[in-house]
Amino acid sequence: MSTPDELLAVIRRGYEAWNTGQLEILEELLAPDFRAHDPTAPGGIVDRSAVREILSDIRIAFPDVRREVCDYVAQGDKIAVRWSFRRR
């Protein structure tokens, strides 16, 4: 079981990968059965490949924006993150 600090480190690594355009790192960080709840997606759920595609599209549209962790709540092996986009 991962600790909240370990989970947050993985999330920060993923955000930094996105910030630097290294989206292939997401393959390492996201489990093969990864699912994200996204109310804007068809069916409200996106998988690992869809996440990579969505993030790539966002980086193309907004190349000067960074994703940053603002706050998080952790309990056991679960974590919820409040994040923001900021211009560099």
Residue 1 has pLDDT above 70, yes or no: no
CA dihedral 12, 24, 36, 85 (to 10 degrees): 50
pLDDT, one tens digit per residue, over 55-66 is 889 889 998 889
CATH of the domain at 56: 3.10.450.50
Q: How many CA atoms lie within 13 A of 75 on its CB side?
A: 2
pLDDT, one tens digit per residue, over 14-64 is 889 888 889 899 888 888 998 888 888 888 889 988 888 888 898 899 988
Domain residues for 27? 4-87
Domain count, the chain: 1
